[in-house]
Amino acid sequence: MKFILIRYDCLHSSFFSYGFLSIVLPFKKFENFNSVLQEPTFKSLKEEEAIFGTGSDTDYKIRKTGHSTPVFILAPFKTPREMDSKLAAFLSDEIRLIWAKVKGKQVRVADSGGGFKEFDEFTETIKKLEVDAVVKTDIREVSGKWIVNQKIVDPVKDIVYGTVDGSFQTSQVEDELQANQVYYLKHSSGVLALDPKSSLVPVWEKSLSSGEIDSILKKSIQGYLSFSASSADTEVLFQGEKIGIASFRNYPLPEGLQQIQITRPGQKDVIKSLQIRSGQTISFYQEWKEDRTLGGVRILSFPEALQVALDGLKTGETPFYRS
């Protein structure tokens, strides 16, 4: 066992003080350094190499071709037990009207020829219809208002693509004549009359945003690619268009088996097939054969995305590779 000595001395002047730290650290000589710190290894290059995700019978989202338009289903709404059934039906219809405007394909229980009562009961229905996202809705009353919270989740894995919120409030009565009127509600359950003294027609205070829902639903049909290479002049193309230069993180790609083209001046292009799964990121490192004879640096960190600077200039983020 050896020790490294780092001293700390303090020098004072009339204006400044200087400090030097002394720390004694144990230092052990390793006879076999490679067995202690193992650098990452990389497979030999081929003109075409496929990287497939670990598929299973339960994760139908790992597939050759994903959907171009997200397929979603609304889970049974969760409402307070004491809520009036007419009011619950009305609020549900108002929420469904918003979802009828989003850029996606909504499937219903009737589409599968069956029915369900609880969330767990339609797991097979979700799989049969190849649903991309499940929308869980929670309605609760707070200070005389009805708060709506919706969570868009993955149907298989514990992935939350996003949440949206809205609220209803009771419509304001201007005079007694209006208060004595009868309000009729027309929705999927039929035409219902509400007692204005106890149950006025609710109106949106903060409506759900269909644009925000669209951006969240899009995440249910795309995964992400993080790319690094041994040479900084390595470019990546997808469907003939340049998507980045090494290195870059979390570039969105459609779900399914996708091909990327890796190019470098003076080198033969390399084609890679990647299995993209929505809500997940694939990290890929391209090592060029010529770079193996050069010196290089590999910087890994946890967590990732720590900034790396060379000669005082920001050069990239971890994981960082440079010849």
In a domain, 40, yes or no: no
Q: What is the pLDDT of residue 11?
A: 43
Q: What is the pLDDT of residue 34?
A: 40
Q: Could you tell me which of 68, 129, 137, 130 has the C-alpha nearest to residue 98?
A: 137
Non-local (6+) Cβ contacts of 321 within 8 A are 228, 229, 230, 246, 247, 285, 296, 297, 298, 299
Non-local (6+) Cβ contacts of 87 within 8 A are 199, 202
Residues 135 and 279 in one domain: no
- Read off the pLDDT of residues 20-68 as tens digits, 9 standing for 90 and up: 444 444 444 444 434 344 444 444 434 344 445 444 567 899 999 999 9
The enclosing domain of 73 has a CATH number of: 3.40.50
- Read off the pLDDT of residues 292-302 as tens digits, 9 standing for 90 and up: 766 667 787 87
Residues 158 and 108 in one domain: yes
Residues 122 and 214 in one domain: yes
Q: Which residue has the higher pLDDT, 318 or 164?
A: 164
Q: Could you tell me which of 257, 302, 275 has the C-alpha nearest to residue 65?
A: 257
Q: What is the pLDDT of residue 95?
A: 95
Strands 17-19 and 10-12: antiparallel
Q: Taking the model in full, what pTM does it have? A: 0.68
Coil, helix or strand at residue 35:
helix
Q: Is the pLDDT of residue 4 over 50?
A: no
CA angle 157, 160, 165 (to 5 degrees): 150
Total count of domains within the chain: 3
Q: Which residue has the higher pLDDT, 198 or 255?
A: 255
Q: Which domain holds residue 308?
A: 295-322
In a domain, 261, yes or no: yes
Average pLDDT, the chain: 77
Residues 279 and 210 in one domain: no
CA atoms within a 13 Å half-sphere pointing along the CA-CB vector of 137: 21
